[in-house]
Amino acid sequence: MSDGTGFTSPSSQPPGGGAGEAVACLRRAAEVLGEVAGADIPPGAEHTVGEDLIQVLRGLDEVKLAAADAAGVFEARGGLVGSGQFRLSHWLQHTAHRSPAEARQLASLAHRSAHLEESEQAYQQGEISLAKLERIAHWVNEGLACRSVQRWPEAEAFAHTAEGPLLGLACEPGVTVWGLDQVGRRLRYTLDPSRQEKEYQDRYAGRGARFIRGMDDSFHLEAWGDEASGDVLRNALDAFLAPPATEGEERSSYQRTHDALVEMCQTVVELPAEQAPRRRAGANPVALVVGLDLLQGQEGAGPAVSEYGTLWPASAARAHATDGVLRRVVTDPVSGQPLDVGYAQRLFSPAVRTALLVQRQRCAWQGGCDRPIAWCQADHKVAWWDGGPSDLSNAQPLCRFHNLEKEHRRARERGWAQRPAHGTGPTPAAAGAGRPELPRRTDRPDRGARPPAEESGGGEGGADRPPDDTV
């Protein structure tokens, strides 16, 4: 169990000092566990061995937390000087030969805020795991780095405020580390929406898809992109996926997804050219919960949340709303519970759509675009939520690609794509809302849909609405 930097055999002498004693104890523990692993287990004693193993792993977590604290002291005392590494996580990975994931976890624990007393106590009492404690520490540190010092001048007050909902969620049964990450990202994006916007636009700019034919005529399809496009693609696949785990079902999840994709494509190509593609009955476009303050570009607005739990930035939410139906939902500012559900229609009438067909034959993007109007969306020049009317004077046809680009450009012009200077970001919540409202919820990054240049856009509703996406 040596990686070249630690002990190589039980007979080698441990280094001096307290660390040497700890190494000796760990060696002895390894010997005891080796004896247990080699011993015969009586029938019916398997569960006892499992319970003992859980206690051993818990003990290893305590050792790991103590090691993280020692790593923090090592860094604070200048241990990185002369090592060739400028970050503790890099030193742990390249010098101590830890895995990247373990190195990041240890560094995060070493840098955790001193104001997480409740989380530390919950860990000591066994209410949360070390992995959850590390995630709480990580997201509180992220918030501290981008908080508004005018709103939160005291780091301790902010740490306690951010810790509360994260710890409450971590203590709930069945909540995973992934669930904590969702809440943590929402906290960070609420405090720093420009960061979310920039990260989203970077993922969108890096989008792509690749269709490869093999020597034996097999194929490989690979696609990657932004979170909003990913939800659109996932929603389309869900419309064609049969219910899983049915009696007699022998297909794997990969096979079911493949068959759904092929069926979706086949359904599209079999339709007459003059008809827009339609998904099966009961299949709806991606549902999105988005605040009016986010649509209007107000500071402090939290990100939109899709039905898949994906956090959408402002420009993606605005572009999605262009081709959807908006429903007004009034919620309690404290509990978040819906108080009133209303309905507001903001789509252009069929007469306006017909007039657009007469006026133009191509996308109206100011830089020029050859996409036919049949592949375009009826777009508001001045957004409906900004007071723009749904009449001909405010209508223009835009393909899906340029509709997205319009919202991306708007985000950049409003400064959402520019990271604010440290300590000058937006407040954690909209004006008058108090502390940030967080949801109680529910490797290859940057996966998404195929490029818009390969797609065709859709109209804003109606029986003659053109396609939203074609695969």
**Other C-beta atoms within 10 Å of 192: how many?**
22
**For the ranges 100-114, 149-163, 376-390, which has the lowest average pLDDT?**
376-390
At residue 90, φ and ψ (nearest 5 deg) are -70, -40
pLDDT at 381 over 60: yes
Q: Of 62, 53, 189, which is closest to residue 133 (Cα–Cα)?
A: 62
Q: Of 226, 255, 233, which is closest to residue 315 (Cα–Cα)?
A: 226
Beta bridge partners of 117: none
pLDDT at 73: 94
* Band of pLDDT at residue 246, cut at 50, 70 and 90: low
Q: With contact defined as beta carbons under 8 Å apart, do 408 and 153 qualify?
A: no
Burial of 387 (0-12, 13-18, 19+ CB in 10 A): exposed
Q: With contact defined as beta carbons under 8 Å apart, do 119 and 137 qualify?
A: yes
If you ran DSSP here, which 8-state letter would residue 42 be given? P
What single letter denotes the amino acid at residue 457?
G
Q: What is the pLDDT of residues 173-193, one digit of tens each?
A: 888 999 899 889 888 888 888
Q: Of 291, 309, 316, 318, which is closest to residue 437 (Cα–Cα)?
A: 291
* Band of pLDDT at residue 272, cut at 50, 70 and 90: low
Q: Of 302, 283, 294, which is closest to residue 326 (Cα–Cα)?
A: 294
Q: What is the pLDDT of residues 327-358, one digit of tens each?
A: 666 666 655 555 555 545 567 777 777 777 76
* Band of pLDDT at residue 321, cut at 50, 70 and 90: confident
Structure token pair of residue 272: 């007459």
pLDDT at 437: 42
Q: With contact defined as beta carbons under 8 Å apart, do 458 and 368 qualify?
A: no
The residues spanned by each domain of the chain are 50-192, 193-430+442-471
Q: With contact defined as beta carbons under 8 Å apart, do 69 and 133 qualify?
A: no
pLDDT at 299: 78
* Band of pLDDT at residue 274, cut at 50, 70 and 90: low
* DSSP string for 281-292: TT--PPPEE--H
What single letter denotes the amino acid at residue 150?
Q
pLDDT at 382 over 50: yes
pLDDT at 1: 33
What is the rounded CA–CA span in Å between residue 273 and residue 271?
A: 6
pLDDT at 411: 83
The residue to which tokens 């012009």 are assigned: 413
Which residues contact residue 226 at a Cβ distance below 8 angstroms, ignoring those fewer than 6 apart? 200, 203, 204, 207, 316, 446, 448
**Other C-beta atoms within 10 Å of 402: how many?**
24
The residue to which tokens 């402090």 are assigned: 300
pLDDT at 367 over 50: yes
What percent of the chain clears pLDDT 90, i.e. is strictly above it? 25
What is the rounded CA–CA span in Å between residue 247 and residue 56?
A: 41
Please compute Rg for the chain using Cα positions. Answer: 27
H-run or E-run covering 57: helix 46-76
pLDDT at 447 over 90: no
- DSSP H helical segments within 126-252, as ranges? 130-146, 155-170, 177-191, 193-205, 227-240
* Band of pLDDT at residue 469, cut at 50, 70 and 90: very low
Mean model confidence pLDDT for the chain: 76
**For the ranges 115-124, 413-422, 432-441, which has the lowest average pLDDT?**
432-441
pLDDT at 434: 37
Q: If you average pLDDT over residues 296-316, what whole number do you get?
A: 81
pLDDT at 41: 76
Distance set, CA 115 to CA 10, 105, 175, 429 (Å): 40, 19, 23, 22
Q: Of 214, 208, 248, 250, which is closest to residue 226 (Cα–Cα)?
A: 208
Which residues contact residue 11 at a Cβ distance below 8 angstroms, ignoring those fewer than 6 apart? none
Structure token pair of residue 372: 């036919």
Helix (H, G, I), strand (E, B) or coil at 113: coil
pLDDT at 249: 67
- DSSP H helical segments within 209-311, as ranges? 227-240, 253-270, 292-295
**Other C-beta atoms within 10 Å of 123: how many?**
22
Q: If you average pLDDT over residues 8-24, what whole number do you get?
A: 59
Q: With contact defined as beta carbons under 8 Å apart, do 147 and 423 qualify?
A: yes
The strand ranges marked E within 279-381 are 288-289, 304-306, 311-312, 329-331, 338-341, 376-380
The residue to which tokens 């830890």 are assigned: 98
* Band of pLDDT at residue 393, cut at 50, 70 and 90: confident
Burial of 47 (0-12, 13-18, 19+ CB in 10 A): exposed
Q: With contact defined as beta carbons under 8 Å apart, do 458 and 465 qualify?
A: yes
**For the ranges 11-20, 251-260, 267-276, 295-304, which has the lowest average pLDDT?**
11-20
Q: With contact defined as beta carbons under 8 Å apart, do 219 and 173 qualify?
A: no
pLDDT at 200 over 60: yes
Q: Of 285, 284, 236, which is closest to residue 264 (Cα–Cα)?
A: 236
